[in-house]
Structure 1
Amino acid sequence: MPSSTSSSDPGSAPKGIVEREGALPAGLRLTASDRPGQAQPVPTRDVPAQPWGRIALGVLAALVVGGIALEVNARERIGLHAGDLDNSEISWSNEKIRAAGAPVAIVGDSRILFDTDLDRFEALTGVRPIQLAIHGTSALTLLEDMADDKDFNGLLIVGLADTMFFQPFDGYGGYVKKWHEFRAPYRVVSNEIDHMLQRHLAFLDSNYRLSVLAHRLDDDFRPGVEGPKDDIWKLQEVGEHRATYLWDRVEYDPAWRARTRWAWKGFKDPFPYTPDLIAKGHARAKAAVDKIRTRGGDVIFVRPPRRQNCA
């Protein structure tokens, strides 16, 4: 028998409202404490009639207008371009997979990453190399990584920057290689979706996400602790398969160029490269080269020029 307090009592619903199990009179929402000892259906609220079609169109129009505004701001005011793909850890991992059986691959730091024109290389040689250089990374650790890859037996071009090659730590490349060891499926899918959209939309640049821009506004750091304003901000544009080149704003915007040079101050302190450290580096490099040559590959060392007029 229905309870006298139950919303299922006949006639309890106001006129014009179809009563459902668990439905409550307009403006009333009962809880379990109102019906002790009784099983409680999940209460439901009556949804008032609304012009849902017009609301949906309004939301869609707002999204379109907002997207256009963001895209115009990105291209006209910031100088971003569609087709600039994020150089993510997964992007490097994808190229590492492609390097298996490739005739030519490139490893090194930011110098050979920026100084290699993949299109020009292909036009001159008929072969498009796999770009595996990583900024802020010792080429030695990447050389050893390729030496341990038994699927690679081609020509490896090693970008040799003396200030990076003999450093006793991997740098950013050590972090990137960990991503390659565990390729989380959601990261791979997310990277593909990002690149698909970034080929057409400039405002999706990861350097200008709202979370990144908001973080740069925070000056609340302890004295002597570098914050986001000390970081190197956007410096590069990246095409398909990690073809990397200098962002043109660094060239035409004196203020941005000066800020980029200032942020590079952390690389100006000389590292104590002792004879013992260099000897260990030579031994590691020789062992890695021997591994590659033993299985039919070869290694070439190239020292890209150091440009004094840019960061």
Structure 2
Amino acid sequence: MLTGYELYFRSVDNPRYDDNEDLWADQRRKLNNLDQDDVVIIGSSRAHQDINIHLWDSLTGRRPLQLALPGSSPYPILEDIVDNSEFNGLLVIGVAPGIFFLPKNHPWASQVREKSVDYYNKQTYAQKLNHILYKPFDHQLAYVNNEDYSLRSLLESVQFGNRDSVRGPLEWPHMIDVDEYRNSSMTDQFEVDTVLQNMQKNIWSLFDSEVPYNYDSTREEAIDQYVKKIKNFKKRGGKVAFIRPTVTGIYYENMNMIPREKYWDELLKRTNSQGYHFMDYEEIKYFDPPEWSHFNKKDQKLFTLFLVRKLKEDGLIKN
């Protein structure tokens, strides 16, 4: 039965790594071994999925440490890096405004702290051993993939009709593959399958239909928290670059909800940092993400080439 289970899901998809708390903790553990010429990437899913760290390595001789987490505020991870490490290289910080400009006590920030920084600090020996034993099988066997093909995840994905005012769990299409270094890339199928792309767009539209958050009510608090941490980071020789990768669809249409001049421009000014906003560069301005928000492999490569070149020109990484 298990052989049949495995062969079936191998015919549907390739085995791949689970991008779980243990894999993130693996990368976080490397932080104190880095020096001032190294790069760490933090942010949400665009910072994770729109940069190819292996291509970056081939261009610079240094593979960035990928600590960005999808669907999360980068503040808890920034706080951890500044307060609990001695890293003084370059921090590349992805800005997805709807998540980025939230105060640190917002539930979304608390959730990312729990599944990243807190997990890393509290990881037990049993959990570490479990990950060591599991990791060799993780990318070799399809049926152990917890997110999509384990029996539990399949049972949880069974769709039932919604009752009035009750919404069931969302069925997320498989969009990216992740390797042991947490480099991610869009799957070949998702790049061309408009059904999967529209499933993801429907999810983004559901989020967009929720009661909007009043960002102006916590604007100063949200920006101040980054200003304070980045000031301390720069005191020990660290450098910072913010990135705002290309978006389309509802994400482009809603840009005025968090006006650039009040948030992005103010962030760069008050942190005295370099920033790369897609609207400022013709070569990336017209990228067309398949589901409005994340790059296919071609645009991921072009964006990585663009970003490395700009960072070299601005003296933030070595030529």
- TM-score over 0.5 for the alignment? yes
- 2:229 matches 1:288: yes
How far did 1:276 drift?
4.3
Structure-2 residue corresponding to 1:88: 20
Unmatched runs of 5 consecutive residues or more in structure 1: 1-65
Unmatched runs of 5 consecutive residues or more in structure 2: 250-288, 292-319
- 2:114 matches 1:175: yes
Cα distance in 1 for partners of 2:156, 2:97 equals 34
How far did 1:74 drift?
1.3
Q: Which has the higher helix share?
A: 2
How far did 1:282 drift?
1.7
Cα distance in 1 for partners of 2:213, 2:19 equals 31
SS in 2 for 1:242: coil
Residues paired across the two proteins, number: 242
What TM-score do you get using the length of structure 2 for normalisation?
A: 0.69
Structure-1 residue corresponding to 2:219: 278
- 2:163 matches 1:197: no
How far did 1:95 drift?
1.0
Amino acid at match of 1:310: P
Structure-2 residue corresponding to 1:263: 203
Cα distance in 2 for partners of 1:266, 1:172 equals 20
What TM-score do you get using the length of structure 1 for normalisation?
A: 0.71
Cα distance in 1 for partners of 2:173, 2:47 equals 20
How far did 1:154 drift?
1.6
How far did 1:141 drift?
2.9
Q: Please identify, of 245-254 and 158-167, the stretch whose mean Cα deviation from structure 2 is larger.
A: 245-254
RMSD: 2.2
Pick 1 or 2: higher relative contact order, CA cutoff 8 A, min separation 6.
2
The question of whether the paired residues in 1 share the 8 Å contact of 2:18 and 2:178 is answered with yes
How far did 1:253 drift?
2.9
Q: In percent, how many aligned pairs have the same letter?
A: 24
Structure-2 residue corresponding to 1:252: 192
Match of 1:310 among 290, 298, 312: 290
- 2:128 matches 1:188: yes
Q: Per-residue displacement from partner, 1:49-75 (whole Å, max 9, x unpaired)?
A: xxxxxxxxxxxxxxxxx3442233112
Q: Which structure 2 residues correspond to residues 1-311 of structure 1 after superposition, within 5 A?
A: 66-76=1-11, 78=12, 80-82=13-15, 84-102=16-34, 103-168=38-103, 169=106, 170=109, 172-176=111-115, 177-206=117-146, 207-217=148-158, 219=160, 222-228=163-169, 230-269=170-209, 271-308=212-249, 309-311=289-291
Q: Which has the larger radius of gyration?
A: 1
The question of whether the paired residues in 2 share the 8 Å contact of 1:113 and 1:131 is answered with yes
Cα distance in 2 for partners of 1:253, 1:218 equals 21
The question of whether the paired residues in 2 share the 8 Å contact of 1:156 and 1:300 is answered with yes
